[in-house]
């Protein structure tokens, strides 16, 4: 069943989601060539615990780290490691927090140094597709309206949408019903109701939509090893317009 949140619960999810945005901004400060991704993870864990929260991903189904860090052809669920960022990489950083019993979950893809123009465009379009999806996330619409809008936009600009991974409901659990695919048909799926909280998270590829799982049992990468981008917001369903609970504002202050 889909659990509808009270106003108070939505405010708690907002707090947790805002902390994710601030954590990603701390990570953004460190992103440059030569930095090991494990050091981004350490910083994020320290920042989250300093703010009285718990890293939401660490230990979730056995995931060993605070951040999912997925470089270039890696789509999601990558492990932080001794791998140093190099000029021209793109790095998707996905972060979750648990505070006051509620989760926040948000992701952003960063460029490292000078990134190829076509890959910068992939990041830009993927972020745009997230906001296009959010525009459809209003009471009375259906889940399929979100995915349909994302897919239409992404395919129109020449990229592909990953099918094997989807967005989700969010609250006392990191992953709740309903699933929120980034593809689909208009007018299908559960009806959106006030009080639903959804994590909308398009994963968009430069080449094939096909993905494979690496031998670590976690990392998902594109089958053709072309780059992939990922942006994620948590939103509360309302009449007329979604309430975006997470934010990229702190991140973009750092980037600009
Ligand atoms: Mg996430
Ligand atoms: Mg998520």
The predicted-structure confidence for 150-207, as pLDDT tens digits, reads as follows 999 999 999 999 999 999 999 999 999 999 999 999 999 999 999 999 999 999 999 9
How many other CB atoms are found less than 10 A from the CB of residue 62? 8
156 burial via Cβ count (<10 Å: 0-12, 13-18, 19+): exposed
What ligand has the least distance to the C-alpha of 182?
Answer: 2
Q: What is the pLDDT of residues 126-147, one digit of tens each?
A: 999 999 999 999 999 999 999 9
Tokens representing residue 158 in the block? 């020449």
Q: What is the pLDDT of residue 242?
A: 98
pLDDT range class, residue 93, cuts 50, 70, 90? very high
Q: Is 81 helix (H, G, I), strand (E, B) or coil?
A: coil
What is the distance between the alpha carbons of residues 179 and 216, in angstroms, rounded to a whole number?
A: 25
Whole-angstrom Cα distance, residue 198 to residue 16? 14
The full set of domains in the chain, from first to last, is 7-255 (3.90.230.10)
pLDDT of residue 215: 96
Distance 99 CA to ligand 2 centre (A): 16
Residues 6+ apart with CB under 8 A from 110: 28, 31, 90, 91, 92, 93, 255
Predicted local confidence at residue 160, as pLDDT: 98
Q: List, as ranges, residues with CB under 5 A of the ion ligand 1.
A: 94, 105, 107, 232
> What was the pLDDT predicted at 8?
98
Mean pLDDT of the chain: 98
Whole-prediction pTM value?
Answer: 0.98
Cα-to-centroid distance, 252 and ligand 1 (Å): 18
């Amino acid at each position: 069943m889909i659990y509808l949140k009270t106003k108070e619960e939505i405010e708690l999810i907002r707090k947790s989601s805002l902390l994710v945005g601030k954590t990603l901004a701390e990570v953004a400060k460190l992103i440059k060539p030569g930095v090991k991704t494990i050091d981004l993870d350490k910083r994020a864990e320290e920042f989250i615990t300093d703010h009285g929260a718990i890293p939401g991903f660490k230990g979730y189904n056995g995931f060993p780290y605070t951040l999912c860090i997925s470089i270039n052809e890696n789509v999601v669920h990558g492990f932080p490691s001794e791998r140093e960022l190099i000029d021209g990489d793109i790095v998707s950083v996905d972060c979750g927090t648990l505070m006051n019993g509620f989760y926040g979950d948000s992701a952003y893809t960063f460029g490292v140094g000078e990134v190829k123009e076509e890959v910068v465009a992939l990041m830009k379009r993927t972020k745009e597709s997230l906001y296009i999806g959010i525009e459809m996330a209003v009471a009375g619409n259906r889940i399929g309206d979100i995915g349909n809008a994302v897919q239409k936009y992404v395919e129109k600009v020449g990229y592909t949408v990953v099918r094997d991974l989807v967005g989700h409901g969010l609250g006392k659990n990191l992953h709740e019903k309903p699933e929120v695919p980034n593809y689909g048909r208009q007018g299908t799926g559960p009806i959106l109701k006030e009080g639903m909280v959804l994590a909308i998270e398009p994963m968009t590829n430069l080449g094939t939509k096909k993905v494979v799982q690496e031998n670590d049992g976690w990392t998902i990468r594109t089958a053709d090893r072309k780059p992939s981008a990922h942006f994620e917001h948590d939103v509360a369903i309302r009449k007329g317009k979604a309430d975006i609970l997470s934010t990229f504002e702190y991140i973009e202050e750092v980037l600009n």
